[in-house]
Amino acid sequence: MPLIRNGAIAADDWIALADEAPVPQGRPVIVSLARWQAERAALLGGGASLGVRLASYEPAAALADDVGLLALIAIAFPTFRDGRGFSLARLLRERYGFSGELRAVGNVFRDQFLFMHRCGFDAYEVADRTEAEAFSAALASFSVFYQRTGDGRTPARALRQLRRAAE
C-alpha cells in the first residue's frame, strides 16, 4: 500500500507487527496498543524506533505519557465514516505534544487528506497510487479555513484581524 510522507510517495521502512509475531532486531516496528502496554520495557530495551497503532475506539490518553518515546503513532480509520481518528490526532499533537510521525491507516481517501492534515497527520497509507497522486491537489483545494488547529495554518479570523490592524 503506497505511503505518503511529507507530501510525496515514500518508501515505508516500518514493520506492522502482529501481536504474536516476534520482534525483529534493529527494525522499526509498529505494535498494537495492547502489546505496547504489555511489553513496553522489552520493546524499549530493543533500541529500535518504536511505533504504536491506535484503533479508532482506543483513547489518546493511553499514550499521553509515552509520546516522547515513540517515533510513530498510527491511527486506524476502519471505515471512512469513522471520524474518531481526527480527534485522536488533535489530542496527540495539541494536548500531549507528540512530534513524531502521525500516520493515517485503514480507509484513507483523497477527500479526507486535507481534514487529516489539519488535524496533525503527516503520513497516509492509501489503497492505490491514484489516491496518492491526488495528495498535493487535495491539500491545495482550499485556501480559507475557519478553524484554528495545530497545523500552523492561519484561519480566516486571524487574517481578518491582521487586515484590521493594518488599516
Interface with other proteins by CB under 8 A: which residues?
59, 80-84, 86-88, 90, 95, 109, 111-112, 114-116, 118-119, 141-149, 156-161, 164
Shortest distance, position 161 Cβ to other proteins, whole Å: 5
Label residue 60 exposed, middle or buried (CB < 10 Å: 0-12, 13-18, 19+): buried
Cell of 137: 491537489
Q: How many CA atoms lie within 13 A of 57 on its CB side?
A: 3
Query: Between residues 27 and 157, which has the closer beta carbon with respect to other proteins?
Result: 157
**Residue number, 99 or 154, with CB nearest to other proteins:** 154
Q: Are strands 101-106 and 29-32 parallel, antiparallel or unpaired?
A: unpaired
Closest to other proteins by CB, 37 vs 87, is 87
